[in-house]
Chain A
Amino acid sequence: MNELHLPWLEFAILIPLLAATYVWKIKSAEEKRFVSIVASGITLAVTLAAWIDFESLITYEARDHWDAIKAIFGREEFMIDQLNSPLLPLTSLLFLMTFLATPRVKYGVYSFTDSLILLSITLAIFSTKDQWLLIGLLIVQTLPLSWEIHNRVRSTRVYWIHMSAFIVTLIAGGWIYQATTSAWWHGVAIIMWMIAVFIRGGCFPVHCWITDLFDKTTFGVSILFITPMIGAYAAMRLIVPVAPDWAMQSIAFISLATALYASCMTIVQKDARRFFCFLFLSQSSLVFVGLETASSIGLAGALCVWISVSLALTGLGLTLRCIESRTGEVLLTKYSGLYAAMPNFAGFFLLTGLSCVGFPCTLGFIGSELLVDSAIEFSPLVGFVVVASTALNGIGIMRAYFRIFTGVKYESSIPIASMRSERIAILTITVILVGGGLLPQIIVNSRYKAAVEILQHRTK
């Protein structure tokens, strides 16, 4: 396997981990935030360097130079390839922007330590395709959120009921797959993994833990736990290379049902957090739909949607979080009239919201176009469901926009306009979304190559 010029991946995983230990020790909330921003900024630079380094090698897959893990364990555990190369900087960016957009009033509530640990684990997950290491990391990743819920003195039952099922099916699938060579038992293992992926990805009907999670943890940590779409990554690494067609079709069928159901649910939500959850569930399910089409265009579209939805929903989530920090719970049952008080957030909300449903001139547009194109080719019904769910999500977004920003002018005795750091964070995401929409060729090339390689591996 080719080598990168430096151990970028190990740096990227270690830096947030070291920063987490440092942040854990310091008392000042201001300093915690500063260290977190610096650490995630360096991690972003390192992951970008890894991506550029990888692209310069013109190879399918590369590992770290001076691989310390290999020296210790004798195995190459971390690698970079076409699929994960943009996901690493994307994840770092999402964390950096979340740290940056954390308002001062929340410094004491938001756990920077947990978030840095989560960043490290997420990057480690995205850097591996070794079956057991991936399973182990996926299990470890469930822990910080459990601490978070526990620390807030809320019930962890819903979370652990789902996560226990996730862990059991993940391990059972791995064990069965390794223990036997029988095709029938491999089928059972794949079903186990499919269940695990459905739970982690929040597919209907095992999605309730996500709405519960958003109710019981801080908005920031919840966003960071779900928007990188770890479930989709697990599916790409564990299931797609070995799954027979029926398994792919089952995944896509469940995802289509989730996309449609969640998009209908966005329209009837009464509070902004649940609205956000269902919007995420609907749009993230479309990534799985690309698998069914089994065409390079469909898969490339799904991978583009992955990136655009991650970015757009993080931007949308951060906007909602900033509003929540000023007004308390954001309800969609009344018109809050926040436009005059925070016109910037209104603009960001609309831009990020529309981007996640593939509005023209945003990053999501071309991904949706590719996805719908191949879906219609595969089956007009699939294409119809994809189009219908994005249309419904568009209605949901506009409804939420009107409910939050219109109505009798919100009167506040203190200034509640956006802070500079918040503006920078959300503006950065918005610029990437719009810039990516105007010049989508780079991202489409990268995702198309990844799609072709995934399909080639699958054929083998």
Chain B
Amino acid sequence: MNTAVLVNFLGFSTVLAPLLFLLVIGCSMLLQYELSEVAVGRWMKGTIGFGLLTSVSILAIMLLARSFREVVDLGNLVTIEDVHFHFHLSFIFDRLSVPMVILSLVLCFTIGSFGISYLHRDNGFHRFFLFFSMFAVGMVFASLAATIETLFLGWEFVGLSSALLIAYFHERVSPVANGLRVWTVYRIADAAFLAAAVLLHHETGEGQFIGMMSSEPWPYGVSTLDSVVAFWAGLLLLIAAAGKSGLIPFSGWLPRAMEGPTPSSAVFYGALSVHLGAFLLLRVSPIIDQSFPLRCLVIAIGLITAIYAAFTARVQTDVKSSLAFASLTQVSLIVVEIGCGFLYLALIHMIGHACLRTLQLLRAPTLLRDYKTLENALGGSLSVRAPAWIKWTSPSIQRRLYRAAMERGYLDAILDECFAKPFLRIFNAFDRLERSWICILSGEPLKATSKLNMETNTKKPIGTTHDSAPIPSSTREHS
């Protein structure tokens, strides 16, 4: 068989395997045909495992053939020939995407297998694997994307599945509120990404990374954009990456995201999702290279976040939050490496960090037992030493730093006070104004409307076990 045909076949299989898992579990849930846990496990292992096998095979073929880049073309999703508009779907296998996709599939396979026993007989077992499959599809699409639109597609899938998995324990308010908060940050990042994607598509006339960054394979590509466009497009992509990877000023969501079940925390915030922002910056590194101010900005954001996360991680009182900030420190350092142009180092750092953090997060539920085992083996307590530089700081500075770190740099409070609360205050006022305006127009006094609202608000659902209040005939009937 021809090598190109073989690579194409294997490439298709890598992309389609997790998609098949999503389709099977999605359709079964939509049609109310519940698969058994064993069946879900088999589908998960079969599809993700097959995807992993094919991606490793591609790596082997590329190594044997000394090929640095293979493109698997799925053709145009949409084309309008008159105006040369193409929405191209193609996947690239190169020195960046192959390690990333293999890492994604290895970790998805491992954590999926862990999740089968971890969530055994849990009410949300199928829901977990639905979102998990969506995440796997998103990661594979984002890792292998050859066009910025395909990357956006995967990016969105990862975002949606993350938010839904944070709210996995949805009978409690806290995970749901945190899920919504993460989704809000992700939407800001998505909006920046979409704007950047359209801007790049518009400037270069195509969405292909190969076209945007000369024909050299990663990391030797050179951006074809002029420096001003590169700055603005890069800035939008940096905002997107900051949102996804929890860099400053969006860092507040990361510990909140730990509300999800441990397997999802591991896969999202320890291993893959949190690195997706850094991966995006690696993919568009030629654009960053094109603009010096942008490069400085990338380094600055990385450094500030690293310092912030390192301080904050030290004072966390639960293991998952502590690990979240520790992850953030490393991700920020990876961003600094990208800004400095150490692309291979950043890639290796990312892979190593993802594997280590996954292991730590999966061991997190048994941390106390692990400590006990360790202390028994040592025959004494584990010592905790203060860092050396602490001697040269005054107690008041230490106190301030401690408080700031405990409050996670007041980032959430700043965003709430400066953006969320004024926004809600303004639009709640508009809402009240509109209701009053309707009352004036309809001639119904505002008081009566409030009463009507109160009556409808206290209306109890039909057939519930709660006390059923009679529904006043004046309230609206629903159809």
Q: Which residues of A come within 8 Å of B, CB atoms?
A: 102, 106, 109-110, 152, 154-155, 157-158, 161, 208, 211-212, 215-216, 218-221, 261, 264-265, 267-270, 296-297, 300, 321, 324-329, 331, 333, 335, 337, 339-340, 343-344, 347, 354, 359-361, 366, 369-370, 372-373, 376-377, 380, 383-384, 387-388, 390-392, 394-395, 398-399, 402, 405-414, 416, 427, 430, 440-441, 444, 448, 452
Contacts and interface: CB of A to CB of B under 8 A. Distances in A.
15 contacts: A212-B442, A321-B478, A328-B462, A335-B173, A360-B152, A369-B198, A373-B198, A380-B199, A391-B190, A395-B184, A399-B180, A402-B176, A407-B173, A407-B176, A430-B30
A326 B462 contact: yes
B2 to A, nearest CB: 29
Contact of B438 (A212, A327, A388, A408): A212
B461 A354 contact: no
Given A387-B191, A391-B191, A360 B77 contact: no
A326 B180 CA distance: 26
Given A296-B82, A369-B87, A376-B199, A344 B187 contact: no
Q: Which 10 A-B pairs have the closest CB atoms?
A: A218-B479, A406-B170, A414-B463, A391-B191, A327-B461, A360-B153, A324-B478, A391-B187, A110-B479, A268-B427
Interface stretch (B3-11, B305-313, B408-416, B429-437): B429-437
Nearest to A334: B457
B167 interface: yes
Interface string B87-102: 1000000000000000
Interface of B: 29-30, 32, 77-80, 82-83, 85, 87, 123, 149, 152-153, 156-157, 160, 163, 167, 170-171, 173, 176, 179-180, 183-184, 187-188, 190-191, 194-195, 198-199, 201-202, 423-424, 427-428, 430-431, 434, 437-438, 441-444, 456-457, 459-465, 471, 476-479
A343 B26 CA distance: 12
Contacts, number: 189
Given A265-B431, A413-B463, A398 B163 contact: yes
Nearest to B77: A440
Given A297-B83, A373-B198, A402 B461 contact: no
Given A158-B442, A212-B442, A337-B171, 8 more contacts: A211-B438, A212-B438, A268-B428, A324-B478, A328-B460, A395-B187, A402-B170, A440-B77
Contacts of B191: 387-388, 390-391
B421 to A, nearest CB: 12
B187 A265 contact: no
A339 B156 contact: no
Contacts of A452: 82
A133 B459 CA distance: 45
A455 to B, nearest CB: 12
Contact of B442 (A155, A268, A402, A448): A155
B427 A328 contact: no
Contacts of A110: 479
Given A208-B441, A219-B479, A328 B85 contact: no
Contact of B30 (A269, A411, A427): A427
Contacts of A340: 123
A157 B463 CA distance: 35
A411 B431 contact: no
Contacts of A380: 199
Contacts of A411: 464-465
Contact of A296 (B83, B188, B428, B464): B83
A57 B361 CA distance: 64
A360 B82 contact: no
A335 B170 CA distance: 10
A439 to B, nearest CB: 8
**Which has the most chain A C-beta neighbours within 10 Å: B82, B152, B184, B194?**
B194
Contacts of B79: 441
A430 B26 CA distance: 13
Contacts of A407: 170-171, 173, 176
Contact of B77 (A215, A366, A387, A427): A366
A327 B80 contact: no
A153 to B, nearest CB: 9
B160 A265 contact: no
Contacts of A384: 195
**Which has the most chain A C-beta neighbours within 10 Å: B29, B78, B176, B428?**
B78
A435 to B, nearest CB: 13
B170 A373 contact: no
Contact of B477 (A152, A265, A444): A152
Contacts of A297: 80, 83, 85
A387 B156 contact: no
A219 B476 CA distance: 11
